[in-house]
Amino acid sequence: MARIPIYQTNWQTLKQIFPVPQTGTLDPAGKVQGFALNITSDVYLDVNTIIYVQEYFDLGTFVLRDARIIGLEGMAAIVVEESYDTIKALMTKDCTTLCTDA
């Protein structure tokens, strides 16, 4: 018999970041500072709906920032402050606990 995954909801609280463009501000070298990542809020979601994780690339400064983008099934992606490894661990499914022999 085939093993069938049965996904239970797994609600977790993550820290969502709202990137805000810093318009008209330059760093000491005269370059645009990109996006501020200091506006945050808790987000309560089913981590079993996360379909991908990637590092946050700041299009204003063209550098990777200390934030991650997660894609959610049926929703737009959001930016969070949890580490890549933390999110990847939440996404990892173990068939010994999630599957049935039905």
Alpha-carbon distances, residue 75 vs 2, 42, 49 (angstroms): 30, 17, 9
57 contacts 64 by C-beta, under 8 angstroms: yes
pTM: 0.79
Measured CA angle at 79 (ends 73, 81), to 5 deg: 120
pLDDT digit string (tens) for 53-90?
999 998 878 889 999 999 999 888 999 999 999 999 88
Q: What is the pLDDT of residue 43?
A: 97
78 or 91, which is more confident: 78
Q: Which amino acid is at 86?
A: T
Range of the domain at 58: 4-100
48 contacts 10 by C-beta, under 8 angstroms: yes
Q: What is the pLDDT of residue 98?
A: 64
Number of H helices, E strands in the chain: 2, 9
Q: What is the pLDDT of residue 1?
A: 59
Q: Give the number of domains in the chain.
A: 1
